[in-house]
Structure 1
Amino acid sequence: EDTKGTVPIENLWQFTSLTKLSLSGNVIEKIEGLDSLVGLKWLDLSFNNIKAIEGVDTLVNLQDLSLHNNHISVIENLDTLQNMQFLSMGNNFLSQFSNVMYLRRCNSLYGLNLAGNPLCNEENYKIFVVAHLPNLVYLDHKLVDEQTRKMSSLRYQYDIEKLGLSETDALEQKKKDDEELQIHWDAFVEHLNGPQLFDSMCADDPDAHKLTHLSAVQATLCIQIFKNGLAQHQRRESEVNLFISSLQVALAKNQEKASWGVTNFRKKQLPQVQGFPVPCLQTYTFHIITGLLWGSGGLECHVFLDKDTFSQCRDLENQHYNKILEISMATLKKIARNELKEDLPIDVRMLFVDKETLTNILKSSHDIHILKINNREDELVTRVNTWKSLLMMSIHDKEVTRNRTRILEIKNFRAHIWSQMEKAYFSKLQ
C-alpha cells in the first residue's frame, strides 16, 4: 500500500500493512506514530522541520529512508535498521564527519546522499566518506568510481586499519558484556551489581535526589543480593543438570530392562502356548508386553530466594528515612533561625518551606522507595516461578512425547506377536 499525506499522522497505526509511506512536506517537527508500521520498506520524510532522528527503531524492514531537507544536525538512532540500503540526508545541518563514522554500523547501506550539508565543504569529503563506508556504490546520486576508491584507500589506509581494530575490540567487549548480562538475567539479578536500584528510586523521585546532599547512602545490600543471586543460579543449574542426567540414567535402565523382557519373550517357544484358545493367547501376550512399559519420575525443584536480604533493604530504607527526617528537621530549624552554616543549593533550600511540607516530601519519597524495593522483589519471585513452571512443562512435554512413542511401539509389537500366535494356532488346527 502507498499513501501520501492522505491520512492524519496520529491514525497511521491503523495501516500496519503499509510498505511505502510518504510524509513529505507535511511540516512535521517530530517523527512519531510509526511504531506499528513494521512492514515499511520505503519512507519519505523529506521537506519537513524535523530536528532529530527518532521513532524509527521498530522499522526493522526499512530499506529506503529519505530525510532530505530537514533541520537534522546528528545522524543517530538507526542501529536497528540493518536492512537499510538507501539513506538520503541532503540539505540538513550535518557538519561533523562523526556522522559518517556512525553509518559504519549500517552494513547494508550502499546508497547515501549528503549533498547540501556543511560537511560537504570539508576537504577530502568524498574520499573520506568512501574510505570509511567501503560498501557504498552511490554517493550524492553519483556512482563511486574506481579512482576515488583507490585515492580513499591510499589516503586513509592507516586510519581504517586502526579503526577496524578498535571496532573489533569494541564488538568483542560488547559481546563479553552481553554474555555477562545474560548470566545476570538468568540469575534474575540484572542491574543489581551496583547502585542501579537506588538510582532508579531517585529517578522517580527528584526531591529525594536533592536531599542526598544531607546524607550519604550506600548500595552494599544490592551487591549482596547480586552475589547471592549468582550463587543460587549456579546451584539451580547444578540441580537441574543432576536431575536431567539422573533421568537419562533411569530411562536407559528402563530401556535396557524392557529390551531384556522383549528378548526373553522372543526366546519362548510358540508350541508351548499353541494349545491355548486365541482369547487366552491375546490376554497372555497383553500381560507380558504391557510389562515393558515403565513410567518416569518427576522433578521437584526447590528454588532458594533470600527474602531476608530484601527485608534488610526495607529496613535500611526505613533507617535512611528516619535519619534523613531527623537531619531535615534539624536543618529546617537552623534555616528558621538563620543558623545554617552549610551552603545548600537553591533547589534543595526551596524544599525547606515548613515542617508539614518537608514531612510530606520525605514521606512521599519513602513510599516511592519502598514500592521500588517491593516491585523488584515481586519481579524476581515472579520470574523465578515462571522459570520453574516452564522447566517443569518442558520436561513433562518431553516425557509425554516419549511415553506415547513407547506405547505405540508396544502396541505394534503386541499386534505382531499376536498375529504370529494366531497363525501358529490355526495352522495346527488345520
Structure 2
Amino acid sequence: MPNLTKLSLNCNKIEVIEHIDMLTALKELDLSFNYIERIENIEKLVNLEVLTLFNNLITKIENLDVLEKLVILSLGNNKITSTAGIERFRFLKELRVLNLQGNPIKGSTSFPMDLYVAAILPDVKYYEYKRITDEMRQNGQEKFYRELREIETNEEKEILERSAEAKEEFDAQRLASSFVEHLNEHQLYESLWKGDEDGHALLMIGQVATDLAEEYDHDIYDVTQEIYKFGLECFEEREKEINEFKESLEEGQTQIQKMGHNVIEEFLRQKELIFERASAVLKALELRTLRGEEEDSPESLVLLDLFDKITMEFDDTINDVWQQLMSQELHLHESIEETTVNFQRRIQEMMAKFVEQVQTYFGQLRDIAIHFSENMTEIATHYINTKTAMQDFAGVPPELLHCMEDREAILNVIAGMKDSHIQRIDEREDRLMVRSREFIENMIDELNNDELERNRAKILEINSYLELMSDSLSALQTEIREEILNEET
C-alpha cells in the first residue's frame, strides 16, 4: 500500500517493528499498547508526522532523528531509563508535542522531565500535552545549564560535520555525473603504481629517478586536471540542456491539460442540459407506469422514442469528447516522442564532443607514460652500468639485483612498468567511455518508458471517465424511480 497515509496497529501483540519501511507516504503511525522493545526500521518513513509508541517495552531512544517532519511523538509508559537520545530531537525542527510520561528516566519519578525538555528542546511547545510556559523554559535552562551547553556544543560540531559530508556527497555525485570522478587530484597517478613492485624498485635507484617520478606525477596531474575541468564544463552544459528539455515537456503537458479541462467543462455543461431533458422524460414515463398506463400506449411510445433520441445525443456527445481528448493526447504523445528524439540527438552530439576531446587527453597521458619509461630506461641503464663497472652492489634494490647480471632484464622491467601504466590509463578511459554511452542509453530508455506509462495511464483515464459518464445515464432511470417512490410515500 504505497499510498497509505494512516496506519493503526495499537492493542496487538507486536514485538518487532518490521515490514513497513516501504510505506513512505505514511503520515500517522500508531503502535501503542504492544510489546515492542526497540525503535527500528522506520528511518525511511520520512513523511511521518504523528508517531505513537505509548505503552510498550522500549528501553532506549534511537533512530528517530531522521524523521524531520515529525510533529507529535508519544513514548510514554515505556522502560526508558536515560535522557540519552532526547537531545537528538533538536534536529526535528517540526516537533511540537512530546510525551515521555511514565518512564523511569534517571531512576526516579521525581526527575523534572518537563524542565529538561523545556530546556533542551526549544521548538517543542507541549510536553505531556501541557503547554510549556516561558517560565518553565527559563527554569529549565537555569537548572540544566551545563547539560544544555554541552548539547549545544556537540550539536554545532555535528552540524558542521553534516554540512561537510553533504558537500562531499554532492561533489562526489557531481563528479560521477561528469564521468571524471577520481581525476580531480593525483588519484590516477597513484593508481598506476598499485601492484607494480618492480616499478616501485626503479624509483629507489637514486634522486634522479625520484625527480623523474615527481615530474611524471606533475605531468599526469596537469592532464587529469584538464579532463576534470572539461568534464565539469560539459556536465553543466548537459544539465542545462536536460533542464530545458524537461521544462519543454512540462509546458506541453500543461497546455494539453488545460485544453482537456476546457473540453471536459464544456461536456459537463452539455451533460447537465441533456440530463435535465432526460430526467423530465423518465419522470413522465415513471408516473405513467405508477398510474397503471400501458407501456405501448401512444403517449408512452412517444416518450420512449424521445428518450432514445436523448440517449443517442448523449452517446454522440461522449464520442465527440473522446475524439477531442484522444486527439489531444495523441498530439501530445507524438510531440513528446519528437522532442525526445531531438533531445537525444543534441545530447549525443554533446557527448560525442566530450568523448572526442577526452580521448585526446588520454592520448596525452599515454604519451607521458611512454616518455617517462624512455627516460627511466636511460636512468636505469646508466645506474646498472655504473654499479656493474664498479662492482658496487650495495644499496641496489633486491628486485633489481638480477639485472646486474642480465642487462636486458632492466629493459623488461621498464617495459612491464610501461605496459602496466598504459593499461591502467586505458582502463580509466574505457570506463569513462562506457559510462558516458550508458548514460545516454539509460536516460533515453527511462524517458521513453516514462512517456509510455504516462500515455497508457492517460488513455485509461479518458476511457474510464467517459465510460463512467455513459453509465451515469443508465443509472439516471433508477434514480428517478427512487425519487418518485420517495415522493409517493
TM-score, with structure 1 as normaliser: 0.45
More RCO (CA 8 Å, sep 6+) = 2
Higher helix share: 2
Point out the structure with max Rg over C-alpha: 2
TM-score, with structure 2 as normaliser: 0.40
